[in-house]
Amino acid sequence: MTDHYQSKLPDIGHLATWSVSSYKYGFNVDCLRDDDPETFWQSDGPQPHFITLQFHKKVAVQKIAILLKFDQDDSYTPVRLAIRAGMSLNDLQEVRYVGFEKPNEWLDFDVSMDLSDDGTNARPLHCYAIQIMIAANYMNGKDTHIRGLKVLGPQEPQPGAEDTIPYTSLAFQMHEGIR
């Protein structure tokens, strides 16, 4: 078990504004992003609990990774999550429902259930807003602990051998073949 999440996919969480439905003083939304497995966000209010990310531009989301520690958090540990996404907070639709059984590590899962054209991976989900709803905790616990959360974009294409500098803007990409 490792407390630090490693992935080849880029973490795009820094592109979003994060908010939570409630928090206990000292255990706020910053604890989700601080990369410290000893800190955690703790909700403080009626269920369900929410973590909401609003992006300033449309982004592609491939996976969500979440750090849960049942051994330390017991009834505060989420066992069911619903993932909602949309173009705004007003049109969120459920895109994925996941369950866990006494998790003690980083868990990651594809956000979308739609497969890519080749059928090997899930397609990334394009959205402006994503919301994680904690639907249930172990032993019907009221509040929840989440020790880490990452939102991951799709694998970035690697530049070819002939490309020394990959173009990222559409204007440059349109003219890269002109000599």
How crowded is residue 128: how many other Cβ atoms within 10 Å of its Cβ? 18
Exposed / middle / buried, residue 175 (Cβ in 10 Å: 0-12, 13-18, 19+): exposed
| Per-residue pLDDT, 175 | 66
For 118-160, what is each residue's pLDDT tens digit?
666 788 999 999 999 999 999 999 999 999 999 999 987 666 5
pTM given for the model: 0.81
The class that CATH gives domain 13-175 is mainly beta
**DSSP codes, 126-171:** EEEEEEEEEEEEGGG-SS-EE-EEEEE-PPPPPPPTT-SS---SHH
| Per-residue pLDDT, 115 | 72
Domain ranges of the chain: 13-175
For 54-71, what is each residue's pLDDT tens digit?
999 999 999 999 999 999
